[in-house]
Amino acid sequence: MQSATALQTDNFVPLEAILCTEELQRRPSRPPDYATENRALVALAQALAESPETILQKLADTILEIFQVHSAGLSLLTQDGTRFYWPAIAGAWKPHIGGGTQRDFGPCGDVLDRNAPLLFKRFERRYPYLLEAAPAAEEALLLPFYVHGKAVGTIWAMAHDHRRQFDAEDLRQMESLGRFASAAYQAVHLQDSRRAALNLMEDAVLSRQMVEKLNRESRESERRFRQMIDALPVAIYTTDAEGRLTHFNPAAVELSGRVPELGTDRWCVTCQLYHPDGTPMPHEECPMAIALKEDRAAHGMEAIAERPDGKRIWFEPYPTPLHDADGRLSGGINMLVDITERKRSEDQLRSLNQDLQHFVYAASHDLQQPLRMVTSYTQLLARRYKGKIDERAESYIAFAVEGAQRMETLLRDLRDYWSLNKETEREPVPTDCNEVLEEALSVLALPTQETGGSVTHDPLPTVTAERITLTMLFQNLVGNALKYGRPDQPPRIHVSAERSGRDWIFSVRDNGIGIEPEYLKEIFAPFKRLHGSEPGGSGLGLAICKKVVDRYGGKIWAESEYGRGAAFRFTIPA
Ligand code: ADP
Q: Taking the C-alpha atoms of 414, 395, 489 and 558 in order, what is their torsion angle to the nearest 10 degrees?
A: -20
Alpha helices for 259-390 (secondary structure H): 287-294, 340-361, 368-384
Q: What is the average pLDDT across 296-325?
A: 83
Alpha helices for 489-553 (secondary structure H): 541-551
User: Does the predicted model carry a pTM greater than 0.85?
Assistant: no
DSSP letters spanning 94-139: GGGTT-EEESSSSHHHHHHHHTS-EEEESGGGT-GGGGGSSSP-SE
Hey, which of 414, 484, 533, 570 would you mutate to test ligand 1's pocket, going by the most ligand atoms within 8 Å of its Cβ? 484
At residue 47, the pLDDT reads 67
The 3-class SS string of 394-430 reads: HHHHHHHHHHHHHHHHHHHHHHHHHHCCHHHCCCCEE
- Name the band, by pLDDT with cuts 50, 70 and 90, for residue 497: very high
* Residue count (the chain): 574
Q: Answer whether 541 contacts ligand 1 (Cβ < 6 A).
A: yes
- Nearest protein Cα to ligand 1, atom 25: 514
Q: Answer whether 481 contacts ligand 1 (Cβ < 6 A).
A: yes
Q: Answer whether 512 contacts ligand 1 (Cβ < 6 A).
A: yes
Q: Answer whether 537 contacts ligand 1 (Cβ < 6 A).
A: yes
Q: Answer whether 88 contacts ligand 1 (Cβ < 6 A).
A: no
| Distance between CA atoms of residues 238 and 241, nearest Å | 10
Closest CA to 55 of 46, 42, 64: 46
Q: Answer whether 480 contacts ligand 1 (Cβ < 6 A).
A: yes
At residue 435, the pLDDT reads 95
Ligand 1 atom, smallest distance to 413 CA: 2
Q: Answer whether 453 contacts ligand 1 (Cβ < 6 A).
A: no
Query: If you ran DSSP here, which 8-state letter would residue 79 be given?
Result: T
Q: What is the pLDDT of residues 277-309, one digit of tens each?
A: 999 998 888 888 888 999 887 777 889 999 888
Q: Answer whether 564 contacts ligand 1 (Cβ < 6 A).
A: no
- pLDDT of 151 > 90? The answer is no
- Name the band, by pLDDT with cuts 50, 70 and 90, for residue 473: very high
Percent with pLDDT over 70 in the chain: 84
Q: What is the pLDDT of residues 407-424, one digit of tens each?
A: 888 788 878 887 777 666
Ligand 1 atom, smallest distance to 409 CA: 2
Q: What is the average pLDDT across 353-362?
A: 74
Taking the centre of ligand 1 as the mean of its atom positions, its distance from the CA of residue 220, in whole angstroms, is: 68
